[in-house]
Structure 1
Amino acid sequence: MKVKQQLINLIKQLGELVYPRLCAVCGLRLGRHEDTVCLECSLRLTYYRETAFVASERLLASPLFRSLSAPFTYAHHNDTHQMIVALKYQGYRSVADYIVRIAMSKQALRFHPKDIDLILPVPIEDGRLQKRGYNQAALLARALAKQLNLPWSDKHLIRRKGSHSQTAYGRQERMQNAQRAFALSSDPKQASALAGKRILLVDDILTSGSTLLTLCDLLESCGVKDIHVFVAAVTLRRY
């Protein structure tokens, strides 16, 4: 077994000579004991504190909302922004696992796993999914499910074809676009299976809250009991 592990490590090291592991933030080569984000960049990431920023207020319009968990804060042109860009647009899938590990180590989860029945990621439109190859919210949901030993599914919520990204909209436009963008699965079994469930809803960034509130409304319509929210980062910009 020891010889086998040494062989695996050797193959891994040879692979890194050809395809070196790069930091998702600065792009420089990672050290042997660094993973996804180098130590220097990790020290510059900005952490979210609910007691200081109270971003959960953006979601209080839903009677099902129970808690907001977020390890990071987000602003354009800072290191957290670059980390999210790497996850969302540059194929750094391992960033999702890194974010969840940080959330666990910083005790950023404001819910107890026993209070969650199912983890649901915010869906993306099929065309964008095919182009990108993955849904970043689903990567976060899967990483959370693995860490917390909970089930997750991307079959219950859909994003309608032709709906637009929320990035370029102001708050009012975000609300209107979100209401047009999402729907429950057309499979009645998927919708009925949510009745009475306690859901952890997962997304990459919380901005105005319009997307998450719209999904809370959809989940309320099919009988969901409680909704907790996890996002990788909370924007501190005012909307």
Structure 2
Amino acid sequence: MRITLNLSYVADFVSLLFPQLCPACGNELVAHEKVICTDCQYNLPQTNFHLINDNIVARQFWGKINLNAAYSLYYFTKGGKVQNLMHHFKYKGMSQIGNMLGRIAGSQLAANATFASVDYIIPVPLHKSRLKERGYNQSACFAEGLAEKLKGTVEENNLIRIRATQTQTHRSRFERFENMQEVFAVKNPQKLKDKHVLLVDDIVTTGSTLEACAIPLLEIDGLKLSIATIAYAE
């Protein structure tokens, strides 16, 4: 006798035994919710920096590097939901978080004339040892989501990390800056000549990593540079 199983019943049974939880708030995801619950999608602390040219992130780089625009999707606070989200994204193998947040951010940036003119989206690269350990580059996941909403294409292997660095956590602003000196290089600068590049990372704090990436990029003739991150941490 053949027993026919309704796939929706099977899915319901599996979710009962192994409920999917929102990585931001920890609540169980209900039917049709994917990755992040609906409440968190609407209520995480968005910055709206795409509406403010001289926002906090942009001001961090004044007098250091020449930027067209800068943006972060969320405010990051210790112990908050965004920190929970980023922890699952970076350390719990939930790469799909980056894609989803990229689409959310991309929808905002597509309505901004400056960001809408991006030619290439370049994620901050991981050193190969860190990439092997983590299994994916979280900034590249974010970039892929952005590219679904923006016209720019992801250029992942042009900006490279030429040496590994120690974690930036618990370092002072000056120590972070020194730690990132001469870490990045561009393999094919000609491809980026006269292009608008969007440099993306997961979190911006002091901006040392993004500044170190920007230095070799801005040596390219005619290159215009903008920055986007998932979160801004004061």
| Same topology, TM > 0.5 | yes
1:23 matched residue in structure 2: 22
The residue type equivalent to 1:227 in the other structure is L
The equivalent position to 2:223 in structure 1, one of 219, 222, 225, is 225
The residue type equivalent to 1:207 in the other structure is T
Aligned length: 226
1:80 matched residue in structure 2: 82
The residue type equivalent to 1:37 in the other structure is I
TM score, norm. by length of structure 2: 0.84
In structure 1, C-alpha distance between the alignment counterparts of 2:8 and 2:218, rounded to whole Å: 49
Q: Which runs of 5+ in 1 are unaligned?
A: 1-6
After superposition, residues 89-104 of structure 1 pair within 5 angstroms as 89-104=91-106
In structure 1, C-alpha distance between the alignment counterparts of 2:195 and 2:151, rounded to whole Å: 16
1:39 matched residue in structure 2: 38
Superposed displacement of residue 225, structure 1: 1.7
After superposition, residues 140-219 of structure 1 pair within 5 angstroms as 140-185=142-187, 190-219=188-217
The residue type equivalent to 2:221 in the other structure is G
CA RMSD of aligned residues (A): 2.7
Contact residue 103 and residue 109 of structure 1 kept, 8 A: no
Q: 1:193 to 1:77 in 2, by over 3 A?
A: same
Q: 1:28 to 1:63 in 2, by over 3 A?
A: closer
Superposed displacement of residue 70, structure 1: 1.7
In structure 2, C-alpha distance between the alignment counterparts of 1:197 and 1:105, rounded to whole Å: 21
Q: Which runs of 5+ in 2 are unaligned?
A: 1-5
Superposed displacement of residue 43, structure 1: 5.1
Contact residue 71 and residue 108 of structure 1 kept, 8 A: no
Cα-to-partner distance string for 1:52-77 (whole Å, 9 max, x where unaligned) = 95221012235531111222111111
Contact residue 164 and residue 181 of structure 1 kept, 8 A: no
Superposed displacement of residue 9, structure 1: 6.3
Superposed displacement of residue 32, structure 1: 0.6
Superposed displacement of residue 220, structure 1: 1.4
In structure 2, C-alpha distance between the alignment counterparts of 1:110 and 1:231, rounded to whole Å: 16
User: What SS does structure 1 have at the residue aligned with 2:177?
Assistant: helix
In structure 2, C-alpha distance between the alignment counterparts of 1:227 and 1:178, rounded to whole Å: 19
Q: 1:106 to 1:117 in 2, by over 3 A?
A: closer
1:131 matched residue in structure 2: 133
Structure number with higher helix proportion: 1
